[in-house]
Structure 1
């Protein structure tokens, strides 16, 4: 087998989309979140393009607000005779966690999903008084 100058046998090995820097950048764009504080509340604006309200789950546990989204889709195209000419499947999930404090209850949190953007309002947990250090004298 003859190789042409300038061509590498392994050039095609890394043409897969998983090695493409553009693909990896796109996957890191999922669940981009802006967190701001206003009027005693944290406002979380989270981008979830391609997901629906039914795909998203919000949970409060041990002071952590956990937001997860998962989607399973199947797209099948058939010709006039019923033969499959193309079939694609997508399965994916993503999640983020935010510490909101132990004093926040699920009834205090409000969430709204519109046009691929999840908006969550969480009250700022009042800081607990930190116990002052007390030293014990050594005899």
Structure 2
């Protein structure tokens, strides 16, 4: 079998090159170019979040979340088998009313932030304690004590 390329290489690939050129022009023209740029910008935006620290002692793991300006009622904590999820829901409602100009405007916005902290050990949800003071949420998760196995010599 010969390793030479066919002589009419340019003629067979010409329709493909033309198609590729047309597609390239399509994606660089407006409004497609602007649409694709807005999708890129959306995925580059940071998600709303909050800082979390995990500290560990001999007896417990302590999760500290910084939530300044958040009310206790806006926070929910879910305990799963080996992880804790902290969710913060902030709803804001604005009502504008002007009787002289006969209009009523009501707008509502909602923002939700969630952090999932994997602890790597089973969690006894009955023993988990949480406190919230001065914008700091502290969740104390006691460590599970396993049964100690003695090792004997034969």
Give 3-state SS (helix, strand or coil) of 1:54's partner.
helix
Q: Where does residue 67 of structure 1 map in the other structure?
A: 86
Q: SS of the counterpart of 1:120?
A: strand
For residue 107 of structure 1, the aligned residue among 120, 126, 132 is 126
Q: In 1, distance between residues paired with 2:69 and 2:106?
A: 19
Deviations 1:37-61 (A, max 9, x none): 2352212110223432112111112
1:52 is matched with 71
Other structure's SS at 2:140 match: strand
- Distance in 1 (alpha carbons) for counterparts of 2:92 and 2:145: 42
Query: Which stretches of structure 1, 4 residues or longer, exceed 6 Å deviation after superposition?
Result: none
Gaps of 5+ in 2: 1-33, 149-154
Which among 92, 95, 98 is matched to residue 111 of structure 2?
92
Q: Aligned-pair RMSD on alpha carbons?
A: 3.4
1:110 Cα offset (Å): 0.7
Q: More helix by proportion, 1 or 2?
A: 2
- Cα 1:67–1:126 change in 2 (3 A) is same
Q: Distance in 2 between matches of 1:113 and 1:31?
A: 15
Count of aligned pairs between the two proteins = 115
**C-alpha separation in 2, matches of 1:121 and 1:107:** 11
The equivalent position to 2:61 in structure 1, one of 13, 23, 42, is 42
Unpaired runs of 5+ residues, structure 1, are: 1-12, 130-139
- Larger fraction in strand: 1
TM-score, scaled to structure 1: 0.60
